[in-house]
Amino acid sequence: MTDDERGSRVFYQLMKHVLLGPLLKLLFRPRIEGLEHIPEEGAAIIAGNHLSFSDHFLMPVVLDRRITFLAKQEYFTGPGLKGRLTAAFFRAVGQIPVDRSGKEAGKAAIREGLGVLGRGELLGIYPEGTRSHDGRLYKGKVGVAVMALTAGVPVVPCAMVGTFEIQPPGKVVPRIRRVTIRFGEPLDFSRFAGSAGERAVVRAVTDEIMYAILRLSGQEYVDEYAAVVKAAESGPSE
């Protein structure tokens, strides 16, 4: 482990247990359901819905284990003081920037995620690929299935409930309201071992993961990608 990695882990624990974690628990009083479904050791994927920027902070503080998220690269490249502070925070807690543009973006995300799983750690991922702009649950991208099948690890579905109401897209300061975080039973896809390269299989596995999230969250489901719907609703650019 490098000095940077050790420093990141120390900062993560400091933020979780001393600085940020206790404050978030005090303000939002999260109801936690199904925490027993998180493996005590070994690699696993935590796959959740994504309703708010607050999700990045509220889920990790309720877990006993460290979790690493694949975070969009824009969090590391924002302008001004806010951008620098956000980038510093995400780097310090060991989050991994992923470039979501270009043909190689998906492969890069999968490669980084498999590295986390290969170290026997928890990987957090939002299969929708972006925050929901309207509170609905959208079609999942297949990267989560490729990683689960390639690494041979379980997937724990997770539902954030109430985070859209406290901080919808565009709202900087979240409202102080209670939220619920639900974890479902781990999904075992060992029956599909060796099938990570089969399109029909990874689509089916992804859909099973999204259905598990849907059952936990109670959201309305949209069988389209969130980014496509967002683009269509925003209309043609001038």
Question: Does residue 163 have a pLDDT over 80?
Answer: yes
144 assigned to some structural domain? yes
Domain of 65, in residue numbers? 1-230
In the chain, % of residues over pLDDT 90: 56
Q: What global pTM score does this model have? A: 0.87
44 assigned to some structural domain? yes
According to the model, what pLDDT value does residue 172 have? 85
According to the model, what pLDDT value does residue 36 have? 97
58 assigned to some structural domain? yes
Calculate the average pLDDT of the chain. 87
According to the model, what pLDDT value does residue 77 have? 77
Mean of the pLDDT values across residues 102-116? 82
Structure tokens given for 62: 């309720």
- Among 18-32, 57-71, 93-107, 178-192, the range scoring the smallest mean pLDDT is 93-107
Band of pLDDT at residue 57, cut at 50, 70 and 90: confident
237 assigned to some structural domain? no
Give the count of domains, the chain: 1
Sheet with 67-72, strands from edge to edge, namely 31-33, 180-183, 155-161, 44-48, 122-125, 67-72, 96-98
Band of pLDDT at residue 106, cut at 50, 70 and 90: confident
Question: Does residue 98 have a pLDDT over 80?
Answer: no
159 assigned to some structural domain? yes
In the chain, % of residues over pLDDT 70: 84
164 assigned to some structural domain? yes
The dihedral through the CA atoms of 19, 25, 27, 30 has a sign that is positive
CATH code for the domain of 63: 3.40.1130.10
Band of pLDDT at residue 72, cut at 50, 70 and 90: confident
For the chain, the three-class secondary structure string (H helix, E strand, C coil) is CCHHHHHHHHHHHHHHHHHHHHHHHHHHCCEEECHHHCCCCCCEEEEECCCCCCHHHHHHHHCCCCEEEEEEHHHHCCCHHHHHHHHHHHHHCCCEEECCCCCCHHHHHHHHHHHHHHCCCEEEECCCCCCCCCCCEECCCCHHHHHHHHHCCCEEEEEEECHHHHCCCCCCCCCCCCCEEEECCCECCHHHCCCCCCHHHHHHHHHHHHHHHHHHHCCCEECCCHHHHHHHHHCCCC
Mean of the pLDDT values across residues 194-209? 97
